[in-house]
Structure 1
Amino acid sequence: MNNLNQDFTTLEYLARGTERQRSAYETLSKLKIMDVLHGYDPILVGTIPIHIDLPDSDLDIICEVHDFNGFKQWMVSEFGDLQDFRCVTRTVDGIRRIVANFRFQGWPIEIFGQPVPTKEQNGYRHMLIEHRILTILGDEGLSAIRELKSRGLKTEPAFAKLLKLEGDAYARLLEMVHWKEAEWIDFTEAWMGPKRAFPN
């Protein structure tokens, strides 16, 4: 199902993916969005790359941004005429962020920027962990996550429920970034064993 070594830093994998992924590829390519954002090290993250999106899921692109005024002006000049465009800045947990939203070809698109390298941002790290988990759990696990999300759970809480992780779902998943290979082997063996059961 999933390629453990999938390169998410380009969009080419979308062109070979599901119908929704191919649609996303066409939309983002028509916007030339990765070229527009090239100087900000953009990466598409979220649910669409790992095939756990719902019909209303958006296309989330993260960027490394330090000049917020310049970035906002760039967003307005490139996307300001598109449907439902808005761009706001705020500070969360002491880190400034900027978010631009708009719609194009029926897709809701969100561009997120903060002064952190994109591969170190939580959105990217969460996606890599979730991708690895889904690679281990297979199609049954993917279906279980999609079902939990269809009931209203956000992505990380859905994974936490499936894996029976206690505490803050976002923090618990980020802990897995630091797992050594032996811990992943233990996790895999536990879930591939005969007692594996997915919640209803």
Structure 2
Amino acid sequence: MTNRFSDCTSLLKDHKVLEILSEFSPEFVGSIPIGVDLPHSDIDIICELRHSILKVLESFSSYPSFQISEKVLGNIPSIICRFRLGSEKVEIVAQSLSPKKQIAYQHMAIEEKILNEKGETFRLSVLEKKKEGKNTEEAFAELLGLKGDPYSSLLEYGERE
């Protein structure tokens, strides 16, 4: 785990973000927990979409840059809440699936497994690709030689391995 992960976890704890979201099974996912983040990477939190979530997300409305939107992500209707905690950008995505079944969680689990198998040199290569402008999934897919859509090809790679 990176120091940034610890710093972000402390920030979330200090502001009780995961506690406020606790009834929605929040998970801190994305590039920060697995150490392939860049300084501008968001704190990504996924949780389960339930009727009461909008009211709970509104409790973050006093934070800078607060906004809530609806979007279809991977064919799944989603509610996205964004705001800032100090210098960090936070993005909460709620979908009608348990968080561990959401694609963001599955991608992170596959990426973490790959990093554990391929080591530090591979992790540094992912970071280089991201500095060139690729997102995390694109960087992994390119380094692994995966063809087609990086999101689905990474899931398929994870199922094969």
Which amino acid is 1:20 matched to? R
Matches within 5 A, 1:3-82: 17-67=1-51, 70-76=52-58, 78-82=59-63
1:163-178 aligned at under 5 Å gives the runs 163-178=144-159
CA distance in 2, matches of 1:94, 1:18: 32
| Corresponding position of 2:77 | 96
Alpha-carbon distance, 1:177 to partner: 3.5
Match among 140, 152, 155 for residue 159 of structure 1: 140
TM-score (norm 1): 0.77
Query: What is the root-mean-square deviation of aligned Cα atoms in Å?
Result: 1.2
Query: Helix, strand or coil for the counterpart of 1:110?
Result: strand
Task: Give the number of equivalent residue pairs.
Answer: 161
Q: 1:36 to 1:89 in 2, by over 3 A?
A: same
Identify the range of structure 1 (82-91 vs 126-135) with the bigger mean alpha-carbon deviation. Answer: 82-91
**Residue deviations 1:129-148 (CA, integer Å, cap 9, x gap):** 00000111101000000000
Aligned to 1:197: none
Following superposition, the deviation at residue 93 of structure 1 comes to 5.1
Per-residue deviation at 1:92? 4.1
Match of 1:75, as an amino acid?
L
Q: Alignment identity in percent?
A: 35
For residues 63-112 of structure 1, the C-alpha deviation after alignment (integer angstroms, 9 at most, x for no partner) is: 01132xx3112111x21000100011133454211000000121100110
Given that 2:27 and 2:45 are in contact with CA atoms closer than 8 Å, whether structure 1 keeps it comes out as yes
What are structure 2's unaligned runs of at least 5 residues?
none
Bigger radius of gyration among the two: 1
Q: CA offsets, 1:26-84, max 9 Å, x none?
A: 101111111111111110110000000001001000001132xx3112111x2100010
Q: Give the ranges of 4+ consecutive aligned residues of structure 1 lying more than 6 Å apart after TM superposition.
A: none
Distance change (3 Å), C-alpha of 1:23 and 1:96: same
TM-score normalized by the length of structure 2: 0.95
SS in 2 for 1:157: helix
1:85 aligns with 2:69: no
Report the 3-state secondary structure (helix = DSSP H, G, I; strand = E; otherwise coil) of the residue aligned with 2:66.
Answer: strand
Q: Does 1:114 align with 2:98?
A: no
